[in-house]
Amino acid sequence: MSIESRSIATNKKAYHDYFIDETFETGIELTGTEVKSLRENRASLRDCYATVRSGEVWLHGVH
């Protein structure tokens, strides 16, 4: 089974408002409602940010 690699959501405002020195590609675990929202292109990264705790990256503020 082939998995398609594509961006579902991008925070375009971050690239406009900030200098992005480095980027990282990660995986994410989603629930059923989150998958449905992404498939319907209703994801918003406008006010989101990530933190690192105990070696894990946590994403906050995704709507």
Give the start-to-end residue ranges of the domains of the chain: 12-60
User: What separation in angstroms does the CA of 37 have from each of 19, 22, 45, 59?
Assistant: 29, 28, 13, 16
Report yes or no on whether pTM surpasses 0.75.
no
**Residue 60 in contact with residue 49, Cβ under 8 Å?**
yes
Which position has the higher pLDDT, 39 or 6? 39
Which position has the higher pLDDT, 40 or 44? 40
Q: Is the pLDDT of residue 46 over 60?
A: yes
Which three-class secondary structure state does DSSP give residue 63?
A: coil
Q: How far apart are CA 32 and CA 36, in angstroms?
A: 6
Provide the pLDDT confidence category of residue 54 given band limits of 50, 70 and 90: very high
The arithmetic mean of pLDDT across residues 24-49, rounded, is: 81
